[in-house]
Amino acid sequence: MTGTDYAVLLLRLAAPLQSWGGPSRYNRRETRPQPTKSGVLGLLAAAEGRDRAASIADLVGLRLGVRVDQPGSLLRDYHTYSDYRGVPLLSAKTNAKGQQTRTTPAKYTGVTQRFYLQDAVFVVALRGPKPLVAGLEKAVRHPVHPLSLGRRSCPPTGPVSLGLRPDTGLEEALKEVPWKAGEHRRRQVRDATVSLEATVEDPAGDHLAVDVPDTYDLKTGTTFGRRAVRHLWVTVPTGHAEPPQSAQDTGPTGQSGHDPFALLGW
């Protein structure tokens, strides 16, 4: 599948808050620990200014790789909503006409839990036909709709596009990109290299991710398809000189040379 007619688009997804929901419904809006294919393709489609009803078949064909440069942590956001006229909220029940009835006993305030990833940085690689990814790269730099990382209230910080690379495998592409973590994270790591978790789309992969959208059309709603992925670790230079003698003792946040998960091979 390698050839000159393919290319890899590299993106940096960083913001104080991100939220990659996948098929998350109702009053509990979760986030996955990594950007989902649905979320990333949605960002690209919005950048191009595609209609919600427009076909996304070409985008779905892109192969996605994600590298976790800074994993961040989970934030739970408590969110209430109510009807501004002070009338009871609608219930899940419908009447004979299919219209929602009001809650009885009357319920005036609804609560939703929204989950975010805070303080995370990801590098995303998308491999596909060159004209398509080149067009997407341009769209990301001159988007029609403002970009957001999974949820509208999560605009990215810094430029999103890291440019195009000539065709390589996703794993190779993710190995080439310098470490994009923030200053405070860099300070925690003293080694000359750091191991970063990554997930790449691979038909031979041994894991399934259920995050492939069929459409963003609100009329029909999105149903999510599956794709095979493979987890791996990517080692990149930190930019630090050779580690000091005490590097073995940097503790749990320090990412010293000791990595128990490496034994598991993912």
Partner 1 sequence: MNQPHLFVEVHILQSLPPSNVNRDDSGTPKQAVFGGARRARVSSQAWKRATRTEYARQVPEADRATRTKRIATLLTERLARSADKGGAGLAAEQADRLATALLEPLGIAKSAKKDDQSAYLLFFGKKQLDDLVAALDGRAAELAALPADELKAEVKKLPVVQTLSTGHPAEVALFGRMVADLPALNVDASVQVAHALSTHAVRTEFDYFTAVDDEKAEDHGAEMIGTVEFNSSTLYRYAVLGVHQLRDNLSDAAETRDTAVRFVEAFARSMPTGHQNSFAHRTLPHLVLLTVRTDQPVNLVSAYEEPVTGTTGLAEQSAVQLAEELKKVGETWGNKPLRTLATYTAEKDKVTDAFGPSLSFPALLDALGALVGDWLDGGEAAVAGDGGEAAVAGDGAEAGAR
Which stretches of the chain bind partner 1, using CB under 8 A? 14-17, 52, 72-73, 75, 77-79, 97, 99, 111, 116, 118-119, 140-148, 152-161, 182-185, 218-219
Supply the minimum distance, in Å, between the C-beta of residue 135 and partner 1.
Answer: 15
Identify the residue whose tokens are 């990594």: 34
Helix (H, G, I), strand (E, B) or coil at 135: helix
Supply the minimum distance, in Å, between the C-beta of residue 203 and partner 1.
Answer: 33
Rounded to 5 degrees, φ, ψ at 69 are -80, -30
- Residue with smaller CB distance to partner 1, 46 or 200: 46
Supply the minimum distance, in Å, between the C-beta of residue 214 and partner 1.
Answer: 16
- Residue with smaller CB distance to partner 1, 39 or 72: 72
- Residue with smaller CB distance to partner 1, 87 or 208: 87
- Residue with smaller CB distance to partner 1, 182 or 225: 182
- Alpha-carbon span 176 to 52, nearest angstrom: 34
Contact 41, 209 (CB under 8 A): no
Supply the minimum distance, in Å, between the C-beta of residue 229 and partner 1.
Answer: 28
Enter the tokens of residue 75: 């934030």
Enter the tokens of residue 247: 């590097």
Enter the tokens of residue 53: 């009803």
Helix (H, G, I), strand (E, B) or coil at 253: coil
Supply the minimum distance, in Å, between the C-beta of residue 14 and partner 1.
Answer: 8
- Residue with smaller CB distance to partner 1, 183 or 242: 183
Contact 65, 125 (CB under 8 A): yes
Supply the minimum distance, in Å, between the C-beta of residue 234 and partner 1.
Answer: 22
- Alpha-carbon span 131 to 7, nearest angstrom: 9
Supply the minimum distance, in Å, between the C-beta of residue 19 and partner 1.
Answer: 11
- Residue with smaller CB distance to partner 1, 28 or 52: 52
- Alpha-carbon span 224 to 213, nearest angstrom: 5
- Residue with smaller CB distance to partner 1, 25 or 184: 184
Burial 162-196 (b: 16+ CB within 10 A, else e): bebbebbbbbebbbebebbbeeebeeebbbebbbb
Enter the tokens of residue 177: 């990109």
- Alpha-carbon span 187 to 166, nearest angstrom: 32
